[in-house]
Amino acid sequence: MRWGMLIDLRTCIGCHACSVACKAEFDVPLGVVRDTVKYVEEPTASSVTRHFIPVLCNHCTDAPCLNACPTSAITRKPTGEVVIDEGDCNLNRFCMSACPYGAIYEDPEREVAQKCNFCEHRTAEGLEPACVTACPTNCRIFGDLDDPESDIAQRAAANETTVWKPEAGTQPNVLYIDPRNAIPLIADQGVQVDTDADLPGS
């Protein structure tokens, strides 16, 4: 069994219902995110196209964060998702330095490293992650990538899929249907929101 997520960029409308649901589900502090949507403009000769690209932890098969963590606080569950055990984390931040996606942040309130865990508390009860449930266009499909009968596996087989930053060699389990080739436009970005545009005092 291998939990994964397939995101269809043809139907993402950038509403941020997913990122709001994630924030609410885990009470994620201000300034950091587990899941967000990148807005990327792509100019052409006569117009500009805006792409909406949801990003989150990719729960990589070859996870650099898991390899890097010296306290084994980061582990892989039998269902494949990569999770952080708060009790064993001493915030050495090697995982943050190793993750090429910027998926891991330092939670200032809980004083541990945190990231998306595919809502393991929900999936353990047979529910889908909060972001999947919240999406109004059903652009996120969650399921077992190793089950050929699952919706996600069938959709992945029927469409050409890609991953974020394939050159990192991490074998992500978050796949994208990206016919307009928008993913390379965020090759130099990470999950954590760039706060340079914030107003003073925010």
Partner 1 sequence: MLAAPLPQPPWGLLIGLYFIVVGLPTGLTLMTAYLGPGPGEQRRSVERRATATSLAVLGLASVLLVVDLHRPERFFLMVTEFGNLGSPISVGAKLIAIKVLLLAVALYFLRRRGKPAPGLTSWAVRGLTAALLVVSVALTFYPVSVLSFTWSSPLARTNGAYLVFLVTTLLMGAAGLLILIGLRTGPPEVDRLVRRAGLALAGLQLAGVVFEGWSLTADPAVPAGTLHRVLAGDYAGLFWTSIASVGFGAALLAPRTGRGRGRIAAGVLLLTGAALTRYLFFTVR
Closest distance of CB 38 from partner 1, Å = 12
Q: Does 13 bind partner 1 (CB under 8 A)?
A: no
Q: Does 171 bind partner 1 (CB under 8 A)?
A: no
139-166 CB burial, b ≥16 within 10 A, e <16: bbbbbbbeeeebebbebbeeeebbbbbe
φ/ψ of 148, rounded to 5, equals: -65, -15
Among 10, 13, 49, 93, binds partner 1 (CB under 8 A): 93
Q: Does 89 bind partner 1 (CB under 8 A)?
A: yes
Closest distance of CB 8 from partner 1, Å = 24
Closest distance of CB 59 from partner 1, Å = 16
Binding segment for partner 1 among 3-11, 36-44, 69-77, 134-142 (CB under 8 A)?
69-77
Q: How far apart are CA 129 and CA 116, in angstroms?
A: 10
Q: Does 168 bind partner 1 (CB under 8 A)?
A: yes
Among 15, 20, 94, 122, binds partner 1 (CB under 8 A): 94
Q: How far apart are CA 98 and CA 102, in angstroms?
A: 9
Q: Does 129 bind partner 1 (CB under 8 A)?
A: no
Q: Does 63 bind partner 1 (CB under 8 A)?
A: no
Q: Does 192 bind partner 1 (CB under 8 A)?
A: yes
For 27, the 3-state DSSP assignment is: coil
Q: Which is nearer to partner 1, 23 or 165 (CB)?
A: 165
Cβ-based neighbours of 103, under 8 Å, separated by 6 or more: 34, 56, 57, 58, 65, 115, 116, 190, 191
Place of tokens 């494949």: 80
Q: What stretches of the chain adopt beta strand conformation (E)?
A: 3-8, 35-43, 48-56, 74-76, 82-84, 105-107, 112-114, 140-144, 161-162, 174-177
Q: How far apart are CA 109 and CA 86, in angstroms?
A: 12
Binding segment for partner 1 among 1-9, 76-84, 174-182, 189-197 (CB under 8 A)?
189-197
Among 109, 196, 197, 200, binds partner 1 (CB under 8 A): 196
Q: Could you list the residues that contact partner 1 (CB under 8 A)? A: 64, 67-73, 88-94, 96-103, 106, 111-112, 165, 167-168, 187-192, 194-196
